Structure 1
Amino acid sequence: MKKLLLFLFTAGIMSVSQAQIQAPQPSPFTKIEQKVGLTDVTLEYSRPGMRDREVFGNLVPYGEVWRTGANENTKITFSDDITIDGKELKKGTYAIYTIPGEKEWEVIFYKDAQNWGNPAEWDEEKIALKATANTMELPFEMETFTILIDDLQNNSASLNFIWDTTVASLTFNVPTEAKAMASIEKVMNGPGAADYFAAASYYHDEKKDLDKAYEWIKKSVEMGNDAYWVLRRKSLIEADMGKIDEAIATAKKSLAAAEKDGNQDYIKMNKDSLKEWGAEQ
């Protein structure tokens, strides 16, 4: 009996010691996955709050390396080589460190992203790239430290570091055009209707070569790809080429197909374009 009681007592202690108390973290973890052009960008960081503290110049001193968040390294991962201010940053995962200043920040992409906060020993050889971020004053306070991947373009985006009344912005460029052109050239050796549509759409969006875009969109339609969104694109290309009569005829076909499918967005877009081009409806 004594052995049984001792066993139960020991088991009870082990059970209590293995239990984990769940409580919210003071600096919650955040993970953001963003597609910029054709490049995957992943951002992982912890978000401290102001909590009535003076942030920059006090909690975060000016002129000193800051972990740029809380807890483990703030990490950013690029699936392709990118450029910042004309300098190349190889694809991979980096820790982001910053040196805040009153008018600008130095942003450091550090090859070792396995630290808790700043490295115990800073190694200049592990710096992959340094860049300067311009700062602006916000008309409001951001209570929780925030990093946004914003101002999304086909070939670029911005990293915005926001806390208190400060935002520091850094633009990076991705190799969308090179990847898209390589893909188009490869696929054009044996393209299907969807490939012709994708290539025409890219050329049209980037204002590269309307004649080529028109040739490809016609081939797509001729191969049976006559969905209303394809016809919509064809009408826009025709209009940009000055082929207004053709654009009106194509838009009417797109409108009829959209009405049949009940797609209100394409119904409105086509009607707006037909009105703009002076068509009788």
Structure 2
Amino acid sequence: MLRRILAPLVTLWLLTSAPLSAQGYPPSQRGSVSQRVAFTDISIAYGRPTARGRALFGALVPWDSIWHPGADLATQITVSRDITLEGTPVAKGTYTVWLIPRATGAWTFILNRKKNIQHTPYPGAAYDALRLEVMPDQASSVESLTYQFPMVLRDEATLRLQWGTTGVAMKIKAPYRPE
């Protein structure tokens, strides 16, 4: 009798407490990309959510709300030397990346000083190092969120992030000269 009662309870406990590897792979894999621009190293570490047939912007990612473009841990960008992003100075260091997508017009791209944090909640404007207005564009669809450097020329580069058919691109200038 006791065995009939305990067996289902033990089975339920084993199923719900099994390690992640026994339950399957995480839906959002970790990714990274790095690029040397002139003498400056830029690296991005992020979670790569997948679209899986879902409507993305304006649905899963609401308009006019701060969104973390990544999954799980907040996306981090590290620059080894001072740069400019869309003409705005960015000091060397590590930042987390945030966006405010909008149905029409420019989106707000945010670099925040809080690092090694989860992708939610947003740490607050008091920690912002940079806010830029950037225009989204449309391109061929990508299933997983992607950060890339599609153009690098001497001390200039383009940083692009894209998910689904929507992306934003930003110009980087890395003017450091070795002494």
Is the contact made by 2:147 and 2:159 (CA closer than 8 Å) also made in structure 1? Answer: yes
Amino acid at match of 1:153: L
Give runs of ≥4 in structure 1 deviating > 4 Å: 17-20
Q: Which has the higher contact order (CA 8 A, sep 6+)?
A: 2
Equivalent residues of 1:132, 1:170 under 8 A apart? no
**Aligned residue number for residue 60 of structure 1:** 61
1:72-87 mapped onto 2 (5 Å cutoff): 72-87=73-88
Q: What is the aligned length?
A: 161
Alignment of 1:150-161 (within 5 A): 150-161=150-161
**TM-score, normalization: structure 2?**
0.82
Q: Match of 1:220?
A: none
1:3-152 alignment to 2 at 5 Å? Answer: 21=21, 23-102=24-103, 103-119=105-121, 122-138=123-139, 140-152=140-152
Write the deviation string for residues 110-143 of structure 1: whole angstroms up to 9, x where unpaired: 00012211336x43221001112222111x3211
SS in 2 for 1:151: strand
Unpaired segments of 5 or more residues in structure 1? 1-16, 184-281
Given that residues 86 and 170 in structure 2 are in contact (C-alpha distance below 8 angstroms), is that contact kept between their aligned partners in structure 1? Answer: no
Distance 1:18 1:104 in 2: 45
Q: How many angstroms apart in 1 are the aligned matches of 2:151 and 2:138?
A: 18
How many angstroms apart in 1 are the aligned matches of 2:29 and 2:39? Answer: 29
Deviations 1:162-207 (A, max 9, x none): 111111111121124xx14xx3xxxxxxxxxxxxxxxxxxxxxxxx
1:119 and 1:66 map into 2 onto residues whose CA distance is 9
> Are positions 1:172 and 2:172 aligned together?
yes
Q: Distance in 2 between matches of 1:19 and 1:118?
A: 23
Larger gyration radius, structure 1 or structure 2: 1
The Cα RMSD (Å) is 1.9
Unaligned residue ranges in structure 2 (runs of 5+): 1-16
